[in-house]
Structure formats: structure tokens, C-alpha cells
């Protein structure tokens, strides 16, 4: 029977039969003229058999509907390379925040001047955070071995994309702000009164403090970084698709332009104030008399200057992702020297500046030496990870499970270390609670208690708050609601 014959037909044959019957029914009406099925097929818009399935604007003739189906089914599809997880980046993030945490409160350790100068070059190292943020953003939102952004980046509305990125860190930031708000408000009201305190609270809650150089470190001081990163996050969905379209040659030009744009203001700062050899991070309070703090703060807190470093990181990532792509050169040969030399250069410049062998401003050291070496280091780690045959002791060390686990606690450490440090060492707070700053009450050994307390608090927050499904669901709901306003 016809039903048994239809069941024996394949799905494509059944679809072809239905289409043919509909075409015959349509041509029998009107003037009774029968249009050939071939003519109908020639008028159909051609379908592009690409991965994204987008329709082509051109029309191409086909002999029959069946021929068109066969053509679509047999068209070659673009092969995409799977992305490997670069777990070493988590370890790098942990080492960066560890150095910054120690440097912020190193004075309470009672170090020698040499050790103090070694531990307080934070203004140099923090540039690595911005570059790493841009590198990871480009890696997760653009495609390997081709000049295009990911479908998720292109199809997600830009306001929603930005809000989703911000929601990754804003809930914990607000929670810590609320938790320590009695301490922040008490100190602020004591020195500045209620009106200024309310204004500072508004800047902190909205993460706008980085736009005010002399007040960027209000309340939770280290989180000026998130304030600057917020601005960069807003421009990333516009910048990343453009970077994704660029060839290696164009990307190198982009990095060069960004390098110059970031360097010029720092040269102007050093030239105008003759701070060429200033080691700003090691300045004590009594050294600040006559020091142009507002111009220096503009250099280190400005979201515009942070944007150049984030975009340099993104462009550097794209250089590696295009290795071996059509029309591009193969990846350069990598070895242990590819990672060890940049590390030696970054550590070496910090040591040489601490000993006084190199007299160069924090800002110039960051722009001229540390950032280029750090980008080379990230690119080398990336190339090592995507090549199974490559073997590198630094890469293996950074990919160790223990360090990767510690890297998972880097963000809560970053958020918590400032308020906990203020609780123990800020004079007005520690005197009210403990009778004085704890390095004077207990001794300099208490610094290690501070480090341990911060780490334990970070682990608790990671396992209870950041891993909470309810927190993630609430953040997702808030993103959707806010994005609908745009």
C-alpha cells in the first residue's frame, strides 16, 4: 500500500514528495498553466551550508529540489579547533594577587628597606592583571584559526553581555561592602562627616571611584581595579569583534599603537615632574610632601589607561589563536627559554630596582619592561598548552593541581584582603577594637596571622557564596532584568 511505501522512503524522499505535491497543487490554479518544478527550484534562494547556517544573499540555479538538498548536505563545513583549558592562568592569577596582598600591608611586617622595596612594586605588577583579563576575554569570545568572533559574543545583546561579565564579580564585591560597611562608615564619618561619607558610599556601590583619582581608594581600597575594569568591560563587546577580524600583521600594529598610547602619558608624567627614577610604591607617608600625588594617581587609576593594557592582552591572545590559520604563519618554535626568559626579566627588573641598580619610575617600568615581558610570557604558556608535544617545567609547575586550586581562591582573596587588613591595622579601627594596630599590640609576627585569616576567609567565601546556585540564579535574574531596560 501507499502508506507502507511511504514508510520505506527516507526522510528526504518524503519531504521531496510533499514539496512536489504542493508545487503541483499551486500550479493547477489560476490560468491552468503548469510551471515546471525546475523553474520553482531556480527561484529559491540558495542556502549557505556554513556552520552558522546563515542564508546567502545570492541565488544559484539547481536542477531539482533533490539536487539542491544533496548540494547542501555535501557542502564542506569549516573545521574549528577545540580550545584547551589553560589552567596555568589560574596559578598566574594567584601569584599576582599574592604579591599585591603582601605589598599592600608589607610595612606591618617590619621589613628591612631592601625587602620593603622588593615587596611594594605593586604599581608595576598590577598591569599584569589587566593584560590577563584581556587575554582571557579574547580567548573565550573569539575563534581559533580564523578571523571571527564567537557566535555567542555576536548574538548576545551587548548590554546583556556586559552585565553578565560584571555579575561574575559584583555580588561578592557588594556582599563584602555590606559586611564591612560599619567599619568603612565609622572611619569615613569620623574624618569627613556624613555628607562626604554618603558620596563615598555612592561611588563605592556604583564602582565609579576610579574616575576620581584622589578618592579611588575609598572604603575597599584595592577594588579601584574593578572600577576601572567595569569601563573596559563596557567597550569589550565592541572591540573584540574588530580585533577578531584582524590578521597577525594588523594585530601587531594594533599592539604597537596601544603601546604608544599607554606610554606617552607616563612619559609626560615623568618629564613634567622629573620622576624618571622614582620608586613610587616604596614611598612612605613622610616622603609624600611635595610629591605630585594627583598626577601619579591619574596614571595608575585611570580606566582609559587600563583599557590599553586590557586590549593589548586581547590582541596578544589573537596572535596565538591565529597560529597556522589560512594565510598566516605557523607558530614560532617554543621551548623552555620561551617562558623562563620573560619570567627572569620580570623578576630581574623588580630585584634590580629594589637594589637601586636600575632607577626607573614605576610607571615607565610597567609600560616599557614588565608589560611586554608579561605578554610574551602569556603567549608562550598558551603555545605550550596547545601543543601536546611541548614540555616546559614552568608550564608544568603552573599547571599543578594544587596551584590551580589556589588560583580559584584568587578573586575572594583580592576582595577580602583590603577590609581584613584595615580591620587589623587601620589605626582608628584597630584602636577602637584592639587598643591599637595589631603590629604594635602583638608584634610584627601578626602579619602572618593576617595572611592566614585572609586565605581562610577566601576559602569560606568561595565554597559558600561564590559556589551558591542561589547567588548565581539571582545574579542571572538581575542581569536579564537590567538588560531589558536597554
pLDDT tier at 290, thresholds 50, 70, 90? low
Grid coordinates representing 455 are: 586565605
Residue 9 has pLDDT above 80, yes or no: no
Given a cut of 60, is residue 473 above it in pLDDT? Answer: yes
| Per-residue model confidence (pLDDT) at position 64 | 40
User: Quick one: pLDDT band at residue 286, thresholds 50, 70, 90?
Assistant: low
**Taking 90 as the threshold, does the pLDDT of residue 144 lie above it?**
no
pLDDT in tens, 212-246: 999 999 999 999 999 999 999 999 999 999 999 99
Question: 309 pLDDT band (50/70/90 cuts)?
Answer: very high
Q: Cα(35)–Cα(54) distance, rounded to whole angstroms?
A: 29
Selected residue with higher pLDDT from 354 and 23: 354
| pLDDT for 25 | 52
C-alpha cell at 122: 605593586
Contact call for residues 394 and 336 (beta carbons, < 8 A): yes
Note the maximum CA span of the chain: 103
Mark 348-363 as b/e (b = at least 16 C-beta within 10 Å).
ebbeebbeeebebbbb
- Which DSSP string corresponds to 354-409? HHTSS---HHHHIIIIIHHHHHHHHHHHHHHHH-TT---HHHHHHT-HHHHHHHTT
CB 322 within 8 A of CB 145: yes
pLDDT at 145: 85
Task: Answer whether residue 178 shows pLDDT above 80.
Answer: yes
Q: In a 3-state reduction of DSSP, which class is residue 443?
A: coil
Query: What is the rounded (10 degree) CA torsion for 145, 147, 149, 154?
Result: -140
Contact yes or no for 134/229 (Cβ under 8 A): no
The pLDDT, as a whole number, for residue 81 is 59
Least confident of 105-119, 182-196, 383-397: 383-397
Please tell me whether residue 47 adopts helix, strand or coil conformation: strand
Residue 97's closest CA among 226, 204, 188, 207? Answer: 226
Range in 63-67, 233-237, 308-312, 447-451 with the lowest mean pLDDT: 63-67
Cell of 331: 607558530
- Cα–Cα dist 115/107, whole Å: 10
Position 197 scores a pLDDT of 95
What cell was used for 17?
Answer: 514528495
pLDDT tier at 21, thresholds 50, 70, 90 = low
Q: Average pLDDT of 21-45?
A: 43
Per-residue pLDDT of 311-324, as tens digits, reads 999 999 999 999 88
- pLDDT, residue 426, reads 92
Mean pLDDT of the chain: 83
pLDDT at 151 over 50: yes
Task: Return the pLDDT at 35.
Answer: 41
- The per-residue DSSP string of 418-485 comes to HHHHHHHH-HHHHHHHHSS-HHHHT-TTHHHHHHHHHHHHHHHHIIIIIT-HHHHHHHHHHHHHHHHT
Q: What is the pLDDT of residue 292?
A: 80
pLDDT digits (tens, 9 = 90+) for 40-64: 434 443 333 344 444 444 444 444 4
- Which of the two residues, 24 and 365, has the higher pLDDT score? 365
DSSP labels, 137-196: HHHHHB-TTSS-B-HHHHHS-HHHHHHHHHTTTHHHHHHHHHHTHHHHHHHHHHHHHHHH
- In this predicted structure, the answer to whether residue 465 has a pLDDT above a threshold of 70 is yes
DSSP string, 221-277: GGGHHHHHHHHHHHHHHHHHHHHHH--HHHHHHHHHHHHHHHHHHHHHHHHHHT-TT
Mean pLDDT, range 5-31, rounded to an integer: 48
pTM of the entire structure? Answer: 0.80
Contacts of 239 (CB under 8 A, 6+ apart): 311, 314
Per DSSP, what are the bridge partners of residue 149? 142
Report the alpha-carbon distance of residue 101 to residue 99 in Å, rounded. 6
Amino acid at each position: 500500500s501507499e502508506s507502507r511505501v511511504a514508510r520505506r522512503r527516507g526522510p528526504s524522499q518524503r519531504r521531496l514528495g510533499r514539496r512536489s505535491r504542493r508545487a503541483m497543487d499551486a500550479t493547477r490554479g489560476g490560468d491552468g498553466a503548469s510551471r515546471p518544478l525546475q523553474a520553482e527550484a531556480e527561484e529559491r534562494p540558495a542556502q549557505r551550508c556554513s556552520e552558522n547556517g546563515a542564508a546567502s544573499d545570492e541565488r544559484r540555479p539547481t536542477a531539482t529540489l533533490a539536487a539542491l538538498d544533496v548540494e547542501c548536505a555535501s557542502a564542506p563545513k569549516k573545521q574549528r579547533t577545540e580550545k584547551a583549558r589553560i589552567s596555568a592562568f589560574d596559578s598566574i592569577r594567584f601569584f599576582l594577587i599574592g604579591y599585591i596582598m603582601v605589598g599592600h600591608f608589607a610595612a606591618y611586617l617590619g621589613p628591612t628597606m631592601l625587602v620593603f622595596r622588593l615587596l611594594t612594586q605593586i604599581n608595576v605588577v598590577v598591569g599584569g592583571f589587566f593584560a590577563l583579563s584581556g587575554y582571557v576575554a579574547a580567548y573565550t569570545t573569539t575563534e581559533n584559526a580564523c578571523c571571527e568572533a564567537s557566535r555567542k559574543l555576536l548574538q548576545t545583546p551587548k548590554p546583556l553581555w556586559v552585565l553578565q561579565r560584571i555579575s561574575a564579580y559584583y555580588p561578592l564585591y557588594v556582599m563584602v561592602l555590606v559586611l564591612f560597611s560599619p567599619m568603612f562608615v565609622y572611619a569615613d564619618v569620623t574624618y569627613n562627616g556624613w555628607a562626604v561619607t554618603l558620596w563615598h558610599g555612592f561611588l563605592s556601590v556604583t564602582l565609579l571611584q576610579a574616575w576620581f583619582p584622589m578618592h579611588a581608594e575609598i572604603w575597599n581600597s584595592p577594588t579601584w581595579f574593578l572600577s576601572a575594569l567595569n569601563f573596559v568591560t563596557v567597550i569589550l563587546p565592541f572591540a573584540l569583534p574588530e580585533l577578531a577580524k584582524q590578521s597577525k600583521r594588523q594585530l601587531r600594529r594594533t599592539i604597537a599603537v596601544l603601546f604608544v598610547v599607554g606610554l606617552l602619558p607616563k612619559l609626560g608624567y615623568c618629564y613634567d615632574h622629573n620622576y624618571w627614577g622614582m620608586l613610587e610604591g616604596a614611598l612612605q607617608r613622610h616622603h609624600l610632601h611635595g610629591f605630585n600625588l594627583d598626577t601619579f594617581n591619574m596614571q595608575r587609576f585611570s580606566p582609559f589607561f587600563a583599557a590599553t593594557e586590557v586590549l593589548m592582552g586581547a590582541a596578544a591572545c589573537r596572535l596565538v589563536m591565529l597560529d597556522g590559520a589560512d594565510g598566516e604563519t605557523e607558530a614560532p618554535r617554543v621551548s623552555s627559554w620561551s617562558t623562563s626568559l620573560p619570567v627572569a626579566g620580570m623578576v630581574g627588573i623588580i630585584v634590580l630596582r629594589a637594589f637601586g641598580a636600575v632607577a626607573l619610575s614605576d610607571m615607565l617600568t610597567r609600560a616599557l619592561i614588565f608589560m611586554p615581558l608579561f605578554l610574551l610570557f602569556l603567549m608562550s604558556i598558551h603555545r605550550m598548552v596547545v601543543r601536546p608535544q611541548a614540555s616546559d617545567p614552568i608550564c608544568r609547575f603552573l599547571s599543578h593541581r594544587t596551584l590551580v586550586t589556589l588560583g580559584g581562591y584568587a578573586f575572594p582573596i583580592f576582595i577580602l584582603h583590603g577590609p581584613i587588613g584595615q580591620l587589623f591595622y587601620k589605626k582608628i579601627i584597630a584602636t577602637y577594637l584592639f587598643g591599637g594596630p595589631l603590629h604594635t599590640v602583638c608584634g610584627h609576627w601578626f602579619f602572618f596571622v593576617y595572611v592566614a585569616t585572609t586565605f581562610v576567609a577566601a576559602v569560606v567565601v568561595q565554597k559558600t557564596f561564590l559556589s551558591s546556585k542561589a547567588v548565581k540564579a539571582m545574579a542571572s535574574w538581575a542581569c536579564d532584568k537590567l538588560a531589558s531596560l536597554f
